[in-house]
Chain A
């Protein structure tokens, strides 16, 4: 008869010591760490978009009707064909291409800081926009949709107790004011939803990068979710920070 062999089967779950239950002198429970305290990656600082992809659609305003790469529906294309920057200016809607889904693909610099322990602030110089990423049980206030919408964030960390501190950020944004995915009027509507995965990469030479996988859902104007990835390089300071207001043309 085989001696019983104790086999511990660990498939990525932690052997957690269970806390002492009940009894006298139960210790006070400590509050869970804040989002800021538990951040597995440090996104704060100054970052610059390196426009190495889709240059002529991101660095400059592309021509009317140039929708290459974007999986638009016919309805989206029909609406995009009516793009008129003068009309947007007259209506005070110069910021249509600076809403969250389109903003991040622009030629931007980011300044990321903690507004408080549960809110990460992402500012851009291009368009002078501010995105707020809310952690925890944040409830969106009532109000009209905005260019940046409501963003709910959470950290994703590998389920391994001994893994080095690392992870990524998932952000879901909705309640968006209709805007443009591209400067030349490629639309997204009020029901659009933006999902982002923010990762970090550090090169051997110390260069740090944020890599964002961005997925825009809009069943009205997009045939399939518009999925792109972006990279931002860390800068040592904000000396190149150059705030420019929204422009419907440039």
Chain B
């Protein structure tokens, strides 16, 4: 033999491959929805417009946001895959989880485009609600319920069919639910992206869905027409920091709160700090420029986002750097 012999020996002893390795999570080709495991019972669906969160359990799927309308079919396919993964067999019959609740973090089209189809693909938690009459109203005609801040419904208005509107609106500071063995809270965050933003927290899974408040792919969208503001955005980021628990004091441990942004990867408190600091810096620079007497056009030319533009900026698309600067400026500039 001229070769090392251990291969022959292992073959002879029938030793199988031991290596398991991490699950090969490869990003699907563009236009596909990727299922990203976050916890054993929590997934992020990426690539659907905005990120979607899915809590899986005996009550079914609790879904946060529904993505862009154009991606709804792909989202449903991904949920189908998850249903396959988490089905249980009872007396020979497969019971596949269904969508039971949808939470909307805002009225941004990337977050609510799939509301109607996903709701109808789901199942109400209220019994006997498929028929006409009051029962059907309560039970959303058998479809899964949709929860959002009251302002989400206001903002959706006529641009969306009624079947896409939240079936349950809330006002006040928050709304709490207990589903799939987890405490879920919709926490109202005023005047961030808009006047209808909610942060969704999952206590047991220790996951936070941020909606448009936090976006790893761009400067935060601030919709002044819909009641957003830069100060509200920064307040929201600081609130998220209050809620996201870092791995302290045992920093090397894996345990921590996972934070799922509107777009981009799964993050944690450290990533959130970076983003908060960036937004605060830009706010401070614009504020200083306004106080020094610069006009909006002069501020745009001076590019207050410069150190961060290469990472978060965009010159084209639905939300450009220029639009962000303008929103910050208009938020801060004293009204004459």
Q: Do chains A and B touch in the complex (CB under 8 A)?
A: yes
Binding site for B on A (CB under 8 A): 7-10, 15, 161-162
Q: A15-B2, A15-B3 are in contact. List 5 more A-B contacts (CB 8 A).
A: A7-B5, A8-B1, A10-B3, A10-B6, A162-B3
Instruction: Please indicate the chain A residues that have their CB under 8 angstroms from the CB of B9 in the complex.
Output: 7
B4 interface contact, C-beta 8 A? yes
Instruction: Report the separation of the CA atoms of residues A7 and B6 in the bound assembly, to the nearest whole angstrom.
Output: 9
Number of B residues, CB within 8 Å of A: 7
| B8 closest partner in A (C-beta) | A8
Number of CB contacts from chain A to chain B under 8 A: 15
Instruction: Please indicate the chain A residues that have their CB under 8 angstroms from the CB of B3 in the complex.
Output: 10, 15, 162
Q: How far is the CB of B8 from chain A (nearest CB, A)?
A: 8
Binding site for A on B (CB under 8 A): 1-6, 9
Instruction: Report the separation of the CA atoms of residues A10 and B6 in the bound assembly, to the nearest whole angstrom.
Output: 8
Instruction: Report the separation of the CA atoms of residues A197 and B1 in the bound assembly, to the nearest whole angstrom.
Output: 35
Instruction: Report the separation of the CA atoms of residues A239 and B247 in the bound assembly, to the nearest whole angstrom.
Output: 53
| A9 closest partner in B (C-beta) | B5
Instruction: Please indicate the chain A residues that have their CB under 8 angstroms from the CB of B4 in the complex.
Output: 8, 10
Instruction: Report the separation of the CA atoms of residues A17 and B143 in the bound assembly, to the nearest whole angstrom.
Output: 78
Instruction: Report the separation of the CA atoms of residues A167 and B3 in the bound assembly, to the nearest whole angstrom.
Output: 21
Instruction: Report the separation of the CA atoms of residues A9 and B3 in the bound assembly, to the nearest whole angstrom.
Output: 10
| B9 closest partner in A (C-beta) | A7
Instruction: Report the separation of the CA atoms of residues A161 and B5 in the bound assembly, to the nearest whole angstrom.
Output: 14
Ordered by A's residue number, 15 sampled pairs between the chains whose C-beta atoms are within 8 Å are: A7-B5, A7-B9, A8-B1, A8-B4, A8-B5, A9-B5, A10-B3, A10-B4, A10-B5, A10-B6, A15-B1, A15-B2, A15-B3, A161-B2, A162-B3
Instruction: Please indicate the chain A residues that have their CB under 8 angstroms from the CB of B1 in the complex.
Output: 8, 15
Instruction: Please indicate the chain B residues that have their CB under 8 angstroms from the CB of A15 in the complex.
Output: 1-3
CB-CB nearest 7 A-B residue pairs: A8-B5, A10-B4, A15-B2, A8-B1, A10-B5, A7-B5, A15-B1
